[in-house]
A = this chain, B = another copy of it.
Amino acid sequence: MQRFRKVVILGTGLIGGSLGLAIKAKRLAGEIVGLSRHKKNALLAKKIGAIDRVTFSLSEVHSADLVILAAPVNTIISLGKSIAGLLSKDCIVIDVGSTKAAVVKSLSGILTNFVGCHPLAGLEKRGVVYARKGIFHHSVCIITPEERTQPKALSRVRSFWNKLGVKTILVSPEEHDKALAFTSHLPHAVAFSLNLSVPEKYLRFCAGGFKDTTRIASSGAELWAQIFLSNRVHLLQALASFEGNLAALKSAVRNKDQNALAEILVKSNKKEKYSR
């Protein structure tokens, strides 16, 4: 893959910072410049070597050949709009947002070489302080091209992720949002609710099962409120499916129906599992 001359990361948090570290480790850029709405984050990103230089001005993107939008979904959209008039003709822009239909719809028309991306490499932690290049190791990035996506930009973006050791999957923005409603947004909604349900006086009785099921309840509130709302319809469908399954289990418990209950649990046991 042809190296990028200058990469600008807008949003030097956990993902933006980790991308900076990974790009540097693989020597995929001549220079990496970072911007954050929190000055402290950008300075810390520089300190840990995730970026070469801090900037406080969006006009920095003018001379970039890759811009990475690494912020909550709504901010990605407003940042994309802000830089639309500032880019050079060939500059590629990618985002790393957790929902894709709204982002791609908003930005594909105004950013010539925009390619929507969603690296499945988040953590429940926030901030560049947790950034590390290893979070992309053996991970998957979903890329969501649509009719306006430039084939050349798409091809270069795929190579970019592959060079970082990331497997890429291509689907439409709509299919992405439908799938992630079930595989990511639903589990987050469930974990947030589960964590709220346990009386604090009982925390000393918790063990590994509780810890694992509620790990992602530490995920950023602002970030996840935006994700839930930007994928509202599909999330409501996923929630309905979950509620149906939980109601069936509950009904078997209420009716002391051991056979029905065991059948539900066996079905869940037997279901093909995700493993990577």
Contact = CB atoms under 8 A, between A and B. Distances in A.
Interface of A: 120-124, 139-140, 142, 169, 176, 179-180, 182-184, 186-200, 202-222, 224-226, 228-229, 232, 235-236, 238-239, 241-246, 249-250, 253-254, 256, 258, 261-262, 264-269, 271-276
22 contacts: A120-B205, A123-B208, A139-B207, A142-B205, A169-B205, A182-B199, A183-B203, A183-B206, A186-B198, A187-B194, A187-B213, A189-B246, A193-B249, A200-B271, A207-B276, A209-B216, A212-B213, A212-B215, A236-B250, A239-B246, A239-B250, A243-B243
A253 B274 contact: no
A229 B261 contact: yes
Contacts of A124: 209
A205 to B, nearest CB: 4
Contacts of A224: 265
B217 A216 contact: no
A240 B69 CA distance: 41
Given A229-B253, A229-B261, A242-B194, A209 B122 contact: yes
